[in-house]
């Protein structure tokens, strides 16, 4: 058997299944990749805009939901359709599906249940641990848990079944058991006691002592946070003892100190990406090859998970090859990062061998089964010295509703916890957080990732403190803002720019804030005016971020880029094209994203988990020149610019330095011994022309042709890994040692094939960096003015202003667009969106956009929404992730403005029109 083999993945999954994304030869029907490889700007009209602009404005097939078997060369022409049947009940024993009654309406060709999972030995990847289908005779673990998958050969039969299952009750339930009680997904405590002065080392911090979790639970399953006197778990006792001291101090009465203790609740919401999840799978039993088309934020993970799922299946249902292809994504917002949907797509293909099967959620099913944002219950305490207005201590307790499966709950809990201090510098901090299992729909990754919730509670508390002190809201923040070099909750300092003071200055002088009193006094009869302001610092990066990039220039100067990053609207393709053009002059002619096998030549291998591996394990792994801590990571908007473009940019830099530059020297007639030959950094591109002072400008086309003729470097493939700093390695290229922020490299000379280069040395960021929690953050401040009609409680945002910093903005138009979109999503979160927990919530399968309201154009100040991007601190400041932070401050700013207008503070979300009306009354 000849596999479309990538050794590194085979090594990783060790399941004997080959994985690949093979280039399908273009026959009569355009291949999948011909849809997904888009022309760069400049090759077709128009000359501006996104690289995917024309495709998206003309309705091209791009998204996973667009493809059918007949679109894919080599596939059978007919598409069958699968339907996931999910339970709306998680308190009674599930007895089974009334197939007899359903079959009178629409008879499925295949029924897949929990029994089949056991029968064919399906393995559930650890991340998705739990029954893929609820076994008959047991209580479902959560609302929306699949109980069966039905596969229909013909669309019409499928469609009739879909409609019948939505309206009728075909699931049989027995006695009531109540919801299942399962262990929480993770509990953590972050305690920091600063030294006597900012320059002194911390007395205690997570970076020093490691992260701690309580080892004991109450009978309810809640953690016991008190430091129990036991020998085991002494690390916890030490941290918890400091934490309890902080709480005792907060509880003590001191007239010189203002202490506020507030509860705040946030709701569950849906990512509500416009394209419901969809995928296509075809298992050919003759070749034992499973082909899929998927749309996810984490293609590498999805491919590995499919391999794990089927890795020990019975021989007739174990593919030898999995060929996964990834499409553009119709919105992600985190909700397609590690989605279990992929597993069901794979199963759909496997259980109807020989037939391409499509599994696609409708919106009801997407609400019922898609990953949600965690609802938080929070208690927050803060003490402030009345004389100085300085925060002296902070404590918080977070309880997250993780829903039915673990997914990213522990991670969201820790990110929300470590982000709970926002922009502030506080010497004594104690935060506990626990993510609980409930029978709700599974919660996971979503834009803001826990910090939207905790910073909303924080900023609302700060707003109230400012009222009570009293002190101007901007001035209070200025006095307490973390400065460059200051330590965050984990005891570590951000390693990127921290521009709080600039953002506060901008907010302070902006007319929205500066004129707030006059505007309030100018309210029309029957209306109230309020102004609010808030600021947030949101981390970006995960601590195990990877970047894969391949850049090639042909003899005509045509540039192509391949990347493993996923385009989900974040403009990553355009950002790649722009960042690469900085080094090689031209805008790419082709950009292909979501690739996981375009980098085979690197032959990468990995071992273990980059988040938990020991230093010894990393050192041992690093001895293999093909080893990296992680190969590919999920795409999120907030790391798209920073991570997604990094490897391609490094590859482009190498092409310039070892290909285009020496070719240019030859064209200029400059000998290698000439001092100018060493001055490559002084050359720059004007469009596709290379400019060097005192020399003739050279068109890229001519340089590329010369580089090919001289057999210089014309292509580079690179891998990079970041654990809060990039790995660094050295390579021998064209006889010269080149050290840079990558850890694997292959190059192409002239028109030859790529050749992998062994690194001569490598430094991976130490594993201790996993304690940092976060080292990169971007800031955004928002001011809003609202007008509220007294009689109805109707709120209108009349003006808004967001100011943010993101280092170098690779595509400023996209940054502005993401900021506007983040603002809108924040407005929806603050005022409209709400999914009730449990039986009344989305798990009942009855939710759609009629009940679930997101912000519409008329809810926003479309003509009075001002976005300001601070210029980078220096010309070489790298791009910073910004797509999450921009949705956060609008939420507490709105709460602040509502308080300013009506004099009532809301401590839960969303704040609906009815709530405002009731408060006014």
Which residue, 65 or 89, has its beta carbon nearer to another protein?
A: 65
Report the residue number, 54 or 695, with the smaller CB distance to another protein.
Answer: 54
* DSSP letter assigned to residue 764: P
Helix ranges (H only) for 210-283 are 234-251
Q: In whole angstroms, what is the distance from residue 317 CA to residue 288 CA?
A: 8
Q: Tell me how far, at minimum, the Cβ of 52 lies from another protein, in Å.
A: 7
Strand pairing partners for 460? none
The stretch among 45-53, 490-498, 603-611, 713-721 that binds another protein (CB under 8 A) is: 45-53
- Looking at the DSSP bridge assignments, the partners of residue 789 are 527
Interface positions, 628-647, toward another protein (CB under 8 A): none
Nearer to another protein by Cβ, of 65 and 381: the residue is 65
- C-alpha distance from residue 73 to each of 27, 76, 98, 490, 806 (Å): 7, 9, 38, 53, 42
Q: What is the dihedral of CA 185, 300, 3, 742, to 10 degrees?
A: -120
**What is the rounded distance in angstroms from the CA atom of residue 823 to the CA atom of residue 253?**
40
Q: Phi and psi (nearest 5°) for 84?
A: -90, 125
Among the listed ranges 184-192, 196-204, 227-235, 843-851, the one in contact with another protein (CB under 8 A) is 843-851
Least gap, CB of 848 to another protein (angstroms): 4
8 A C-beta contact, residue 345 and residue 361: no
Tell how far CA 392 is from the center of its chain.
33
Among the residue ranges 64-72, 435-443, 682-690, 772-780, the one whose residues contact another protein (CB under 8 A): 64-72
Q: How far apart are CA 572 and CA 667, in angstroms?
A: 34
User: Quick one: which segment of 204-212, 300-308, 708-716, 822-830 binds another protein (CB under 8 A)?
Assistant: 822-830
Query: Binders of another protein among 356-375, rule CB under 8 A?
Result: 362-364
Q: Work out whether 61 is an interface residue with another protein (CB under 8 A).
A: yes
582 binds another protein (CB under 8 A): no
The residue (of 426 and 825) whose beta carbon lies closer to another protein is: 825
Which residue is it, tokens 């449990």?
838
Distance CA 785, CA 656 (A): 50
Alpha carbon distance 826, 533 (integer Å): 14
Measured from the CB atom, the residue of 89 and 570 that comes closer to another protein is 570
**Within 853-882, which residues bind another protein (CB under 8 A)?**
854, 856-858, 860, 862-863, 865
Nearer to another protein, 160 or 734 (CB): 160
Among 59, 255, 669, 675, binds another protein (CB under 8 A): 59
Is there binding between residue 817 and another protein (CB under 8 A)? yes
Tokens 């976005």, located at residue:
867
Show the binding pattern over residues 145-164: x = contacts another protein (CB under 8 A), - = does not: ----------xx--xx--x-
**Among positions 49, 195, 215, 511, the unique one binding another protein when judged by CB under 8 A:** 49
CB of residue 519 to another protein, shortest distance in Å: 22
Task: Pick the binder of another protein from 813, 903, 914, 918 (CB under 8 A).
Answer: 813
Q: Is residue 818 a contact point for another protein (CB under 8 A)? A: yes
Give, as ranges, the residues between 251 and 310 that touch another protein (CB under 8 A): 271-276
Q: How far apart are CA 701 and CA 689, in angstroms?
A: 9
> Mind giving me the DSSP string for 890-917?
HHHHHHHHHHHHHS----BS---HHHHH
Cβ proximity of 271 and 373 under 8 Å: yes
**Token pair for 706:** 């010369």
- The SS3 assignment for 243 reads helix
- Joined together, the tokens standing for residue 508 give 């302070």
User: With respect to another protein, which residue has the nearer C-beta, 162 or 428?
Assistant: 162
Q: Is 416 in the site for another protein (CB under 8 A)?
A: no
Instruction: Check if the beta carbon of residue 751 is closer than 8 Å to that of residue 697.
Output: no
Residue among 422, 373, 415, 423 nearest 398 (CA): 415
Measure the CA–CA gap between 788 and 811, rounded to whole angstroms: 36
Stretch 301-340 residues interacting with another protein (CB under 8 A) = 328-333
Dihedral of CA atoms 363, 366, 368, 371 in degrees, nearest 10, equals -150
Judged by CB under 8 A, the residue of 58, 199, 220, 612 near another protein is 58
Contact pick of 15, 18, 36, 71 for another protein (by CB under 8 A):
71
- The one segment of 537-545, 550-558, 816-824, 872-880 that binds another protein by CB under 8 A: 816-824
Q: Which is nearer to another protein, 559 or 814 (CB)?
A: 814
Instruction: Tell me the closest approach of the beta carbon of residue 80 to another protein, in angstroms.
Output: 12
Does 32 bind another protein (CB under 8 A)? Our answer is: no
Q: Are strands 357-360 and 375-385 parallel, antiparallel or unpaired?
A: unpaired
Of 62 and 347, CB closest to another protein: 62
Residues 557-576 that bind another protein (CB under 8 A): 568-571
Segment 92-131, which members bind another protein (CB under 8 A)?
Answer: none
Which of 14, 26, 57, 791 touches another protein by CB under 8 A? 57
The CB-of-511 to another protein minimum distance in angstroms stands at 19
* Closer of 52 and 900 to another protein (Cβ): 52
Q: What's the helix, strand, coil split of the chain in %, to 5?
A: 30, 25, 45
Asked if 34 interacts with another protein (CB under 8 A), we say no
């Amino acid at each position: 058997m000849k596999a479309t083999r990538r050794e590194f993945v085979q090594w990783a999954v060790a399941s004997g299944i080959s994985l690949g994304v093979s280039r399908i030869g273009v026959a009569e029907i355009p291949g999948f990749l011909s849809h997904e490889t888009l022309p760069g700007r400049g090759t077709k009209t128009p000359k501006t805009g996104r690289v995917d602009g024309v495709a998206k404005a003309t309705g091209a097939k791009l998204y996973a939901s667009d493809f059918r078997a007949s679109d894919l060369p080599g596939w059978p022409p007919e598409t069958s359709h699968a339907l996931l049947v999910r339970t709306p009940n998680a308190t009674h024993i599930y007895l089974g599906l009334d197939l007899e009654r359903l079959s009178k309406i629409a008879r499925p060709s295949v029924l897949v249940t929990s029994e089949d999972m056991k029968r064919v030995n399906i393995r559930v990847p650890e991340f998705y641990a739990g029954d893929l289908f609820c076994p008959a005779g047991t209580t479902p673990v959560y609302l929306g848990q699949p109980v069966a998958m039905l596969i229909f050969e013909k669309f019409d039969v499928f469609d009739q079944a879909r409609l019948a299952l939505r309206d009728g009750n075909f699931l049989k339930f027995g006695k009531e058991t109540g919801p299942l009680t399962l262990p929480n997904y993770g509990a953590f405590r972050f305690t920091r006691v600063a030294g006597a002065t900012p320059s002194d080392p911390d007395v205690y911090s997570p970076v020093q002592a490691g992260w701690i979790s309580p080892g004991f639970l109450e009978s309810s399953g809640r953690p016991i946070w008190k430091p129990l006197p036991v020998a085991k778990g002494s690390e916890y006792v030490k941290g918890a003892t400091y934490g309890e001291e902080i709480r005792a101090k907060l509880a003590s009465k001191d007239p010189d100190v203002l202490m506020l203790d507030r509860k705040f609740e946030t709701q569950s919401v849906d990512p509500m990406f416009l394209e419901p999840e969809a995928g296509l799978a075809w298992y050919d039993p003759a070749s034992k090859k499973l082909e899929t088309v998927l749309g996810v934020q984490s293609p590498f993970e999805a491919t590995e998970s499919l391999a794990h799922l089927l890795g020990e299946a019975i021989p007739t249902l174990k593919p030898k090859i999995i060929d996964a292809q990834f499409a553009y994504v119709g919105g992600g917002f985190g909700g397609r990062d590690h989605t279990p949907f992929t597993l069901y797509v794979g199963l759909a293909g496997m259980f109807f061998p020989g037939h391409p099967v499509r599994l696609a959620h409708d919106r009801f099913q997407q609400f019922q089964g898609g990953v949600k944002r965690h609802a938080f219950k929070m208690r927050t305490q803060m003490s402030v010295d009345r004389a100085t207005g300085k925060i002296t201590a902070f404590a918080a307790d977070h309880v997250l509703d993780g829903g039915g499966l673990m997914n990213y709950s522990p991670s969201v809990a820790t990110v929300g916890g470590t982000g709970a201090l926002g922009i502030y510098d506080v010497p004594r901090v104690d935060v506990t957080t626990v993510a609980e299992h409930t029978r709700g729909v599974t919660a996971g990754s979503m834009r803001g990732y826990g910090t939207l919730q905790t910073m909303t509670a924080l900023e609302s508390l700060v707003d109230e403190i400012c009222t009570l002190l009293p002190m101007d809201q901007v001035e209070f923040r200025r006095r307490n803002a973390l400065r460059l070099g200051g330590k965050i909750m984990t005891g570590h300092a951000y390693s990127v720019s921290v521009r709080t003071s600039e953002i506060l200055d901008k907010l302070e002088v902006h007319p929205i804030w500066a004129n707030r009193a006059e505007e309030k006094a100018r309210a029309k009869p029957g209306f109230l005016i309020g102004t609010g302001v808030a600021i947030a610092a949101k981390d970006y990066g995960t601590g195990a971020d990877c970047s894969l990039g391949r850049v090639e220039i042909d003899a005509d100067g045509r540039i192509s880029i391949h990347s493993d990053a996923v385009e989900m609207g974040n403009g990553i393709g355009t950002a790649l094209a722009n960042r690469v053009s900085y080094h090689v002059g031209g805008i790419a002619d082709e950009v292909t994203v979501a690739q996981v096998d375009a980098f085979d030549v690197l032959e990468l291998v990995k071992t273990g988990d980059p988040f938990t591996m020991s230093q010894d394990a990393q050192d041992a792994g690093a001895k293999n020149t093909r080893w990296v801590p992680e190969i590919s990571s999920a795409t999120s908007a907030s790391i798209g610019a920073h991570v997604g473009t990094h490897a391609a940019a490094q590859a482009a830099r190498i092409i310039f330095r070892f290909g285009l530059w020496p070719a240019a020297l030859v064209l200029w007639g400059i000998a290698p011994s000439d001092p100018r030959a060493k001055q490559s950094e002084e050359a720059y591109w004007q469009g596709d022309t290379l400019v060097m002072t005192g020399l003739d400008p050279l068109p890229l086309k001519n340089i590329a042709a010369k580089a090919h003729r001289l057999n210089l470097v014309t292509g580079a493939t690179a891998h990079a890994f970041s654990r809060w700093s990039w790995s660094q390695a050295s390579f021998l290229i064209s006889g010269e040692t080149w050290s840079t922020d990558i850890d694997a490299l292959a190059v192409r000379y002239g028109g030859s094939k790529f050749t992998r280069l062994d690194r001569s040395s490598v430094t991976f960021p130490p594993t201790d960096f996993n304690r940092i929690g976060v080292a990169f953050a971007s800031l955004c401040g928002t001011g809003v003015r609202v007008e509220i009609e007294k009689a109805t409680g109707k709120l209108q945002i009349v003006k808004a202003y967001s100011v943010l910093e993101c280092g170098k903005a690779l595509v400023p138009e996209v940054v502005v667009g993401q900021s506007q979109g983040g603002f809108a999503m924040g407005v929806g979160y603050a005022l409209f969106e709400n999914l009730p927990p449990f039986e009344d919530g989305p798990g009942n399968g009855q939710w759609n956009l009629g009940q679930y309201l997101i912000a519409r154009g008329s809810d926003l100040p479309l003509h009075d929404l001002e976005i300001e991007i601070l210029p980078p601190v220096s010309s070489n400041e790298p791009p910073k992730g910004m797509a999450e932070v921009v949705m956060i401050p609008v939420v507490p700013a709105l709460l602040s403005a509502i308080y300013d207008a009506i004099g009532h503070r809301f401590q839960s979300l969303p704040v609906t029109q009815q709530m405002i009306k009731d408060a006014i009354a």
